[in-house]
Structure 1
Amino acid sequence: RIQFSDGHYELYHLGEDPYESHNLAKEKPEKLRSMMESMVDQLKAMNAVYPVDPSGQALPPVLP
């Protein structure tokens, strides 16, 4: 998952925790950052269009 509006991140091992009951984001910050960096790289490669703020500035994902 990506950062929520309140600033927290969620990371789950869906093979072991299919109901997403144990958030691993704080236990595995290096894995979270690696996955987020990969996502950002793919979004850039695809020329992704991001949502914008009220002033029209793009809001790309924020890395942890």
Structure 2
Amino acid sequence: MALDMKSELFLKNLMIFSRQTQEINKHRIGLDLRLVNLNNSDKTRMNKLKARFNLPGEKNLRTAV
């Protein structure tokens, strides 16, 4: 099956676009995972600070109000 020039160019561009989209998605997933890790480390840091200064935890704050 012979393709004309426009169809061939369109298919090439479509393949390039598809590859670029896959790369972008890989990076996006990596960033999401890094953000989750950052959030977890922030929570750990906050818990350590609370313990250090004897600050009430979330549950204690709710019951104190």
Q: What TM-score do you get using the length of structure 2 for normalisation? A: 0.37
Of structures 1 and 2, the one with the larger relative CO (CA 8 A, separation 6+) is 1
Larger Rg: 2
